[in-house]
Amino acid sequence: MEDIRTIDLDIYDFKLMINALNEFRNKKIAENIDTEIIDKLIKKILDAPLKKKFRGNYTFER
């Protein structure tokens, strides 16, 4: 079974990671190297679900 890792990123870290992967992809394209695995990783990161944080006290009534 493969290990699955989860990280929390704010919007700045998220954009930095996507930008870095895209630059890496462009470099590999210039070197005529297949970028399929990088493309899949970028898609996986872009499609990752958002985890919303709730602040404050919430009460739920029945």
Cα–Cα distances (Å) from 9 to 2, 20, 36, in that order, read 22, 15, 24
Q: How confident is the model at residue 56 (pLDDT cuts 50, 70, 90)?
A: low
Q: Which two tokens stand for residue 38?
A: 């990088």
d(CA 39, CA 42): 5
pLDDT value, residue 20: 98
pLDDT value, residue 57: 65
4 vs 40, higher pLDDT: 40
pTM score, two decimals?
0.75
- Residues 14-53 have pLDDT tens digits of 999 999 999 999 999 999 999 999 999 999 999 998 877 7
pLDDT value, residue 15: 96
**Residue ranges per structural domain of the chain:** 11-46
CB-based contacts of 25: which residues, under 8 Å, 6+ apart?
A: 35, 38, 39, 42
